[in-house]
């Protein structure tokens, strides 16, 4: 189990007040750049990558710094802050929020490595971005050598890879017969990878989630950590007084995938409300949608589903942060529940969008309508394997019953 946090720590009340203050500031900064993000939605989609102006705006606002240690120029906040701020960007562009989201969580994961790794990443470039894929390469594509590993392989799909300075990848270690004997998370500079242009999708086009390709690259031992250790909270970060880096690995990695969805859902709801006095319900007596009782009920149902998504997400984020500040690693059942929280939140967002599309009408699917882009982006992102509701609910059900989990180790 993870070592207990016995280092001297700041007053928890003072730290919490400081984080809330910084959260409010970052939320304001995020809202201030929404016009820039919104103006580039077409470019982001057509070029299948987050517009450079969006990356620059988010970088200048400090939004890529939320989960980086203060010792390396970061803000070192908490997951509740990260989720709220990222969701604001999602109100304007789901793909841009997704890139912000994934690069930030990769920065957090890199912060679980020893300081020597963080020196490599941020020493000469405090604004370095990281993209990553936890899925390991195929058996037989890595071999241990003196001082590290020689690694080859392909990693689908690395969101933000077109803007990243480093790559975070899963590496499978095998014996001479290609039998798995270990799995690691590794970091290598972006220059070690080629990018294969594979991201041709209906939704989340602008996330640039292309394939990282490595051919016989060397990764030193110190830039590799055990994936099983990470899952159990046995981190390599030497500074256990840094609360953020005591957060539970899989719950954090799963829950952040909801962040852009919350913003997209709020945007779709607000658009439906705003247009309800300007749109009629064709073939009825209603000159305005808002006058229809049926429309009002549809709107209320969608709004409550979106609220449910927020409640599950914020409860789970608060649990992650509370456990981290306590210095105790989150227990297995709570970890399973947080993963299920993410699935429930995404299911509610997806269902709410369906309700809103019916309420808003067929005009939702006009190319000029933001509704169709939100619908495509949200539905694509909601199918991420780590947050599939059916799997997460089964894992949580097994945890509640004390039944062995033979489904996934990612809890």
- 257 or 8, higher pLDDT: 257
State the Cα–Cα distance between residues 256 and 248, nearest whole angstrom: 12
| CATH 1.10.540.10 boundaries in the chain | 12-125
**How many beta carbons lie within 10 A of that of residue 335, not counting itself?**
27
Helices 52-60 & 94-110 angle (0-180, nearest 10)? 50
Mean pLDDT of all residues in 304-322: 98
- Percentage of the chain surpassing pLDDT 70? 96
The tens digit of pLDDT for each residue in 128-176 reads 999 999 999 999 999 999 999 999 999 999 999 999 999 999 999 999 8
User: 182 CB contacts (<8 Å, ≥6 apart)?
Assistant: 172, 173, 226
State the Cα–Cα distance between residues 246 and 327, nearest whole angstrom: 7
What DSSP assignment string belongs to 195-211?
A: EE-----SS-GGG--EE
Mean pLDDT of all residues in 182-199: 97
State the Cα–Cα distance between residues 240 and 25, nearest whole angstrom: 27
Mean pLDDT of all residues in 298-324: 98
Token pair 């991420």 is at which residue?
Answer: 384
Report phi then psi at 227, rounded to 5.
-65, -45
In contact, 208 and 196? CB cutoff 8 Å: no
Q: How confident is the model at residue 331 (pLDDT cuts 50, 70, 90)?
A: very high
User: Domain 12-125: which CATH class?
Assistant: mainly alpha
| CATH 1.20.140.10 boundaries in the chain | 249-401
The tens digit of pLDDT for each residue in 63-91 reads 999 999 999 999 999 999 999 999 999 99
State the Cα–Cα distance between residues 215 and 45, nearest whole angstrom: 30
**CA of residue 165 relative to chain centroid, distance:** 18
Q: How confident is the model at residue 6 (pLDDT cuts 50, 70, 90)?
A: very low
CA angle 41, 42, 43 (to 5 degrees): 95
First to last CA, the chain: 15
- CATH code of 249-401, in short, is 1.20.140.10
Q: How confident is the model at residue 327 (pLDDT cuts 50, 70, 90)?
A: confident
| CATH 2.40.110.10 boundaries in the chain | 130-227
State the Cα–Cα distance between residues 95 and 99, nearest whole angstrom: 6
What is the model's pLDDT at position 2?
47
- Res 348 pLDDT > 50: yes
State the Cα–Cα distance between residues 60 and 100, nearest whole angstrom: 13
Mean pLDDT of all residues in 312-317: 98
The tens digit of pLDDT for each residue in 248-304 reads 999 999 999 999 999 999 999 999 999 999 999 999 999 999 999 999 999 999 999
What is the model's pLDDT at position 135?
95
- Res 31 pLDDT > 70: yes
**CA of residue 47 relative to chain centroid, distance:** 22
Average pLDDT, the chain: 95
Q: How confident is the model at residue 4 (pLDDT cuts 50, 70, 90)?
A: very low
State the Cα–Cα distance between residues 114 and 116, nearest whole angstrom: 5
- Res 192 pLDDT > 80: yes
The CATH number corresponding to 130-227 among 2.70.98.40, 3.40.1710.10, 3.40.50.970, 2.40.110.10 equals 2.40.110.10
The tens digit of pLDDT for each residue in 84-128 reads 999 999 999 999 999 999 999 999 999 999 999 999 999 999 999
In contact, 218 and 150? CB cutoff 8 Å: yes
Mean pLDDT of all residues in 199-217: 96
pTM recorded for the entire structure: 0.94
């Amino acid at each position: 189990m993870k070592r207990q946090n016995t280092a001297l720590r700041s007053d928890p009340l003072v730290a919490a007040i400081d984080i809330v203050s910084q959260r409010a500031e970052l939320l304001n900064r995020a809202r201030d750049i929404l016009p820039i993000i919104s103006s580039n939605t077409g470019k982001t989609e057509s070029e299948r990558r987050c517009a450079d102006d969006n990356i620059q705006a988010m970088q200048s606002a400090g939004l890529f710094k939320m989960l980086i240690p203060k010792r390396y120029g970061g803000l070192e906040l908490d997951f509740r802050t990260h989720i709220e701020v990222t969701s604001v960007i999602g109100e304007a562009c789901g793909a841009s929020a997704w890139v912000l989201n994934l690069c930030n969580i990769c920065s957090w994961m890199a912060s679980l490595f020893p300081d020597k790794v963080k020196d490599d990443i941020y020493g000469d470039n405090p604004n370095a971005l990281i993209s990553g894929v936890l899925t390991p390469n195929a058996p037989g594509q890595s071999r241990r050598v003196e001082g590290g590993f020689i690694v080859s392989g392909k990693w689908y799909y690395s969101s933000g890879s077109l803007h990243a300075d480093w790559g975070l990848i899963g590496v499978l270690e095998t014996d001479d017969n290609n039998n798995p004997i270990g799995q690691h998370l590794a970091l290598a500079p972006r220059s070690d990878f080629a990018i294969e242009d594979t991201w041709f999708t209906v939704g989340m086009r602008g996330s640039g989630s292309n394939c990282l390709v490595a051919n016989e690259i060397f990764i030193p031992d110190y830039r590799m950590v055990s994936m099983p250790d990470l899952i159990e909270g046995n981190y390599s970060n030497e500074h256990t007084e840094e609360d953020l880096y005591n957060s539970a690995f899989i719950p954090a990695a799963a829950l952040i995938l909801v962040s852009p969805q919350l913003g997209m859902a709020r945007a779709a709801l607000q658009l439906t409300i705003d247009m309800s006095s300007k749109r009629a319900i064709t073939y009825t007596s209603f000159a305005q949608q808002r006058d229809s009782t049926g429309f009002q009920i549809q709107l209320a149902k969608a709004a409550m589903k979106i609220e449910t998504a927020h409640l599950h997400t914020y409860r789970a984020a608060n649990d992650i942060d509370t456990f981290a500040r306590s210095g105790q690693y989150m227990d297995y059942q709570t970890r399973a529940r947080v993963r299920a929280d993410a699935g429930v939140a995404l299911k509610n967002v997806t269902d709410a969008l369906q309700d809103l599309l019916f309420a808003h009408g067929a005009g939702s699917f006009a190319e000029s309508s933001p509704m169709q882009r939100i619908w495509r982006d949200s539905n694509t992102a909601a199918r991420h394997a780590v947050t599939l509701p059916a799997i997460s609910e089964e894992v949580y059900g097994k945890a509640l019953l004390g039944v062995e989990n033979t489904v996934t180790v990612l809890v």
